[in-house]
Structure 1
Amino acid sequence: MPGRPATDQQVNLYMTSRHHHPQRAAAAASGISERTGRRIERDPRPPSQKAAERPRRRKTVDPLDGLWESDVLPLLLSRPGLRPVTLLEEMQLRHPGRDWDRLRRTLERRVRSWRGEHGPEREVIFRQDHPPGQQGLSDFTDMGDVAVRLSGTPFAHRLYHFVLAYSGWEHAEPVLGGESFTALACGLQNALWSLGGAPVEHRSDSLSAAFRNLDRDAAEDQTRRYEALCGHYGMQPTRNNLGIAHENGAIESQHGHLKRAIAQALMLRGSADFDSLTAYRGWLADLIGRRNARRDRLVGLERAVLGRLPPRRTTDHDEAVVQVTSSSGFVLKKVFYTVPSRLIGFRLSLHIYDDRLECFLAQSHVLTLPRGRAPGDGRRIQVVDYRHIIHSLRRKPMALLNLVYRDALFPRPAYRAAWEHLLAAGDPRAACRILVDLLALAHEGGCEADLAQVITEQLGRGGGVPELAVLRARFAPAIAAPPQVRVELPPIASYDALLSSPQVIAGATA
């Protein structure tokens, strides 16, 4: 063929064909040109016998000028982990007169060749063959580079990720806080109940992030809880060694695949902004469901050998007991939460989940609160629901002026903007009264969002805060008028007719 040298087989075929065919036919039969055929006839030796040794392009002079043996090699022998660029910088300091930048590639090739012949033994990765139903893996992965937003606000979160090693079936859900046993227990149980079975072995990392801020006793308690969690589902708990990520490789690689799939799906969606966390959870579950559908055949093989689930879930939350103070709230992990004032003085039992607190009075569930997390700098934050305290605040509106959790009290930015506008007018008393009335109207009329929109539009036009009378007329709940009931009393004489009735007379005779 043009552009390709003839092979030994083609030369032999050509010379054999020439015994019975002309030059052109023999060349065509052997796949070479007629010109190549004439050259072969002048020198019938096979190409393998005519290949000349490639001449050296580089001079035999050592470009390192003997410094490899005198300087570089002793450094490598004493410190095998040195990188070529570090050695190059050291040579520049020792011998400043040489053009070391030009010799960088030469030095890199020498170091690589030396390590291949004389370097230390390296760690070997042993690829594993996972049988169906044998192993499931859990891990957390940060989603900061995906840039998901909730109602326009960046949503910093992680994903809990569970994967079956054999089929690749996966489950993922957002985690608002850090890596914790609570997030692991909740996510793992959600995955197993969605899958419909449990593998023989559950592998996680060392859980060092979950135990980081715990003392020794608390860490041991978490370890016992993890073992009890796996035991409840008949799984053998295992962990990879600390800092050895490739031992969890079956899920580490899946992290990258899932995050790329999420990024691509968000591009197709046209936006990474979701109305709420619930909407984001639903969208993510739908995406993962479609990914699992492509693994249906392997998942079917794996489900056939999975262990049966127990009758019910086990504990997937932390617990605490708090006292509700006269401020109509309690403090948990440097976060102040408000509750309805009727609970002041009571002790509440809390079930602490990753995203919420379930509050119990004795055995009765009384309240669900969104979970807050204090920043790592020691500052305290507040999770405040204005509905819990608005009735008392209406009797003491001036308390709003210097309220400790005033900034957390405003349910939407529009109410904060209204407060700042009123306060800028110079009358704090009027500002407190008007804003408290606005919050009371939002609560009683069930119109928090609509009222916020009206305030935003009015402030945007430069008209100030709308008049309360106008807002009450528009949003205050209508009071239904009582029905008019007319009662007609029969005349007394009408009862005399009953005395002459045959039924009454018969009854009297009996």
Structure 2
Amino acid sequence: MRLFMQFRKTDGAAVAAAKAGFSPATAYRLEHDPRLPSQKKTPRARRRPDPLESVWDNEVIPMLKAAPGLRPIGVLEELRRRHPELGAGVRRTLERRIRNWRAIHGPEQEVIFRQEHPPGRMGLSDFCDMRDLEVSIAGVPLEHRIYHFRLPFSGFESAHVVLGGESFVALAEGLQNALWTLGGAPQQHRSDSLSAAFRNLDADAKEDMTRRYEALCAHYGMTPTRNNKGVSHENGSIESAHGHIKAALEDELLLRGSRDFDDLGAWRKFVDELVGRRNARNAARVDLERAELKDLPPRKTSDFEEERVSVTSSSAFTLRKVFYTVPSRLIGHKLLVRLYDDRLEVFQGSTHLFDLPRGRPGPGGKHGHVVDYRHVIHSLRRKPMALLNLVYREQLFPRHAYARAFDALLAETGEKAACKTMVGLLALAHERACEAELAVAIEEELDSCRLPNLSTLIERFAPKIGTAPNVIVALPELAVYDALASLEGAAA
């Protein structure tokens, strides 16, 4: 038709029709009515009665106006309650009609404004729950999060496995690791206000945490910013990246064929390798942004909290609702404890004594226990019956085999004998440094329906005394020395 109208400017109807490729009759018809065939079709009439005709204006629209957030399925349930004759088959019709009505008469919706991110301007931090991945450490499910840092311009990211919640310590450690890996600091740092870390804190504690966060950013010359609470899309450049990194980890775990790792370090290495490969894909943009970053300070700042504790007569101290045992020689002393996300560093004055794994309170605020049987076994040998009703008895056993052995001994030999034998087994594991081997031997005995025999195990794991070789020394005759002396005199 367009060709016909173009040729019609200079040619007659029949000639223009021939050039356009249709008959003169069609040309004359188009002369009188230029509408297309699709424009001449009459609208299709309804083929069956409207099932919502009687309720749409009188009931559905008033409900939508009164409750703008009402879901279509809620409207349908209410209509079917009022009108039982309505079938479930009207659901799609109702959903489509409500959607069309809201497009014309509905309330205004929030608009998301896409932003440009110049290089070196902003870094984003957030925490991502990783329990969905069902990762385990030595067969024990690992409940953890990942601290996630990202630069929106280049896509550079860093991930740090966090065992606790969204704490300042976890933020400080993860952020500093990311900045030193990157080799510079952006102008601004944005977080989500650490909502989980601020929960249940009083006003003074919140103010202290705010000051520490601002001091951390000031150490690196960054301006601290926060998105509005509950408005996740303001942090969208990292919120969406959470899903990507979780999906990538899920794929890697499926390819690996197992979600169990020997220790926490192996899982952290697995995450670091994945993040490193993702950063390598953006190497060009990362290098471009790195040139715009601020220089790092000469050293890192504190990424821990400090607490002073007193060691009680139980050879332990309690910190953040967790009971920690220490060597008994420290009873009565005050210790300085540095709290990291996954460990505690214990100091006597300025002397670093040892590290302890960090524990967490149990569900419902129940106190947790981090117990090392080596700290108390010397006293427990003198008072073995203390094991029977010990508050942290289950945490005292270093492996499941020991707990299983104690239950079997209690059932078969009675309380006194069971406690004496069990303490002897723990002492043997400590003195002979054979905790793992002894656990295997205990498992073998229990699997064979036999109780572990302390005397037999002591003999089995006793140090092997080597026999001294019989050395025979042959003494030379004295005349040999005289002959040597005469030879030396002749030579002189």
> Which TM-score band (shorter chain)?
0.7 to 0.9
Contact 1:189 1:313 in 2 (8 A): yes
Take 2:422 and 2:331, find their aligned partners in 1: how far apart are those partners? 25
Q: Pick from 374, 377, 381: which aligns with 2:368?
A: 381
Q: How does 1:161-172 map to 2 (within 5 A)?
A: 161-172=148-159
Deviation of 1:359 after TM superposition, in Å, equals 0.8
Q: Deviations over 1:136-190 (max 9, x none)?
A: 1111111111100111111111111111111111111211111111111111111
Cross-structure match for 1:56 = 44
Q: Pick from 431, 437, 462: which aligns with 1:476?
A: 462
Deviation of 1:361 after TM superposition, in Å, equals 0.7
The alignment's TM-score, normalised by the length of structure 2, stands at: 0.87
Residue 53 of structure 2 is aligned to residue 65 of structure 1: yes
Contact 1:136 1:199 in 2 (8 A): yes
Take 2:456 and 2:424, find their aligned partners in 1: how far apart are those partners? 13
Cross-structure match for 1:348 = 335
Q: Report the residue type matching 2:421 in the other structure.
A: I
Deviation of 1:430 after TM superposition, in Å, equals 2.3
Deviation of 1:49 after TM superposition, in Å, equals 2.9
Q: Report the residue type matching 2:289 in the other structure.
A: E
Q: How does 1:57-456 map to 2 (within 5 A)?
A: 57-58=45-46, 63-94=51-82, 96=83, 98-456=85-443
Distance 1:377 1:174, change over 3 A: same
Deviation of 1:196 after TM superposition, in Å, equals 1.1
Take 2:62 and 2:175, find their aligned partners in 1: how far apart are those partners? 53
Take 2:244 and 2:163, find their aligned partners in 1: how far apart are those partners? 21
Take 2:459 and 2:210, find their aligned partners in 1: how far apart are those partners? 60
Take 2:35 and 2:263, find their aligned partners in 1: how far apart are those partners? 72
- For the residue of structure 2 that corresponds to 1:425, the secondary structure is helix
Q: Deviations over 1:25-81 (max 9, x none)?
A: x9xxx9xxxxxx7x7576457896333315414159654335322222223233322
Contact 1:441 1:476 in 2 (8 A): no
Take 1:42 and 1:445, find their aligned partners in 2: how far apart are those partners? 110
Distance 1:478 1:230, change over 3 A: farther
Cross-structure match for 1:34 = none
Deviation of 1:379 after TM superposition, in Å, equals 2.1
Q: Report the residue type matching 1:379 in the other structure.
A: K
Deviation of 1:215 after TM superposition, in Å, equals 0.6
Take 1:318 and 1:241, find their aligned partners in 2: how far apart are those partners? 27
Cross-structure match for 2:478 = none
Take 1:202 and 1:258, find their aligned partners in 2: how far apart are those partners? 21
Q: Deviations over 1:374-416 (max 9, x none)?
A: 1231322221101111112222222222222111110000111
Q: Deviations over 1:402-447 (max 9, x none)?
A: 2221111100001111111211113322222222221122112221
Contact 1:444 1:477 in 2 (8 A): no
Take 1:48 and 1:480, find their aligned partners in 2: how far apart are those partners? 111
Q: Report the residue type matching 2:333 in the other structure.
A: F
Aligned length: 460
Take 1:222 and 1:167, find their aligned partners in 2: how far apart are those partners? 30
Q: RMSD in angstroms over aligned alpha carbons? A: 2.8
Q: Report the residue type matching 2:449 in the other structure.
A: G
Q: Deviations over 1:107-158 (max 9, x none)?
A: 3233222221222111100011111111111111111111001111111111
Take 1:120 and 1:442, find their aligned partners in 2: how far apart are those partners? 71
Take 1:471 and 1:258, find their aligned partners in 2: how far apart are those partners? 50
Distance 1:125 1:420, change over 3 A: same
Contact 1:170 1:292 in 2 (8 A): yes
Take 1:76 and 1:374, find their aligned partners in 2: how far apart are those partners? 47
- For the residue of structure 2 that corresponds to 1:311, the secondary structure is coil
Stretches of structure 2 that go unaligned for 5 or more consecutive residues are 472-492
Take 2:5 and 2:134, find their aligned partners in 1: how far apart are those partners? 64
Contact 1:359 1:367 in 2 (8 A): yes
Distance 1:48 1:462, change over 3 A: farther
Take 1:219 and 1:407, find their aligned partners in 2: how far apart are those partners? 36
- For the residue of structure 2 that corresponds to 1:124, the secondary structure is coil
Deviates more, 1:147-156 or 1:443-452: 443-452
Take 1:263 and 1:10, find their aligned partners in 2: how far apart are those partners? 61
Distance 1:50 1:171, change over 3 A: same
Distance 1:460 1:11, change over 3 A: farther
- For the residue of structure 2 that corresponds to 1:377, the secondary structure is helix
Q: Report the residue type matching 1:472 in the other structure.
A: I
Contact 1:444 1:476 in 2 (8 A): no
Deviates more, 1:133-142 or 1:375-384: 375-384
Q: Report the residue type matching 1:157 in the other structure.
A: H
Distance 1:342 1:483, change over 3 A: farther
Distance 1:352 1:97, change over 3 A: closer
Contact 1:88 1:100 in 2 (8 A): no
Take 2:422 and 2:66, find their aligned partners in 1: how far apart are those partners? 74
Take 1:470 and 1:111, find their aligned partners in 2: how far apart are those partners? 80
Q: Report the residue type matching 2:354 in the other structure.
A: L
Take 1:451 and 1:267, find their aligned partners in 2: how far apart are those partners? 35
Take 1:342 and 1:479, find their aligned partners in 2: how far apart are those partners? 32
